Amino acid sequence: MPLSTSEVLEAISRCNSTGGQKGRFWVLDPVDGTLGFVRGDQYAVALALIEDGEPVLGVLGCPNYPMKKEWLNYQNGYREILSRLTSASTEKSWDKGCVIYAKRGSGRAWMQPLVHKGKKFVWPNSARQIKVSTIDNPALATFCEPVEKANTSHSFTAGLAHSVGLRNQPLRVYSMVKYAAIARGDAEIMMKFARAGYKEKIWDHAAGVVIIQEAGGVVTDAGGHPLCFSKGMYLEGLDRGIIVCSGAKLHEKIIKAVDASWNSSSL
């Protein structure tokens, strides 16, 4: 039986967990990447289950995420892609949208495409396992970062990229689609260093952390510590920033570069 508007609002009002190291609660971000959504670019619907302070289930719905990796290379995002689709036949053959999910401890992450060659897939018969990239040479790696400068320091990440030998242009993407890109093997590194005063929220990372880890990647703060989801709505105690990598070798290089560069930064 469908819920009424008042019943939905009442249910939402009950979502008042203060977190903690014990108990279970859901974390939902219905539109992660609001600017991306408004601009017709990348955004995600993110859902995670937290148990005893640890994310144990993560789901990312990415309606605009292209199935072909090469479409991600356009620096002006989704609108540039649309401008290049000059014929109806080309547009119909361009597949986009997926749901990516993982359960902690399973050692597997899955992707369910939403559309293929104009036909909708039947859930979950078309899901396939995804893995992080095997690239560990910085010169071949691609790194992701937020689009908006208010959420991260592009100059600092550019310096880090240069110091570890990253040569590809950064992939600037709205929302937790960045986590999806690394889990699917479309990129190898994500770096986020928020400016002073900004506090990371658990719903911006919980689902992505589970998916990356089960796809074979590494997620820590810039000190190499696991992200803490047990202290309420914020990632309290975060050491400088967040580092996500497809493998331990790249992760170690980024951590060392942060330590070497941090004192000279303005963050």
Q: Which segments are annotated as binding site for Mg(2+)?
A: 29, 32, 204
- The answer to whether 213 touches 177, Cβ cutoff 8 Å, is no
Secondary structure class of 103 (helix, strand, coil): strand
DSSP 1: -
Count of other CB atoms within 10 angstroms of residue 258: 24
Rg (CA), the chain: 19
Residues belonging to the binding site are 29, 32, 204
Tokens matching residue 262:
């941090």
- Largest interatomic CA distance in the chain: 59
Q: What is the DSSP string of the chain?
A: -PPPHHHHHHHHHT------SSSEEEEEEEEE-HHHHHTTS--EEEEEEEETTEEEEEEEEEEEEESSGGGGG-TTTHHHHHHH--SHHHHHH--EEEEEEEETTSS-EEEEESEETTEEPPTTTT-EEE-------GGG--EEE-SSGGGS-HHHHHHHHHHHT--SPPEE-STTHHHHHHHTTS-SEEEE-PPTT---BGGGTHHHHHHHHHTT-EEEETTSPPPP-SSSSB-TT--S-EEEESSHHHHHHHHHHHHHHGGGS--
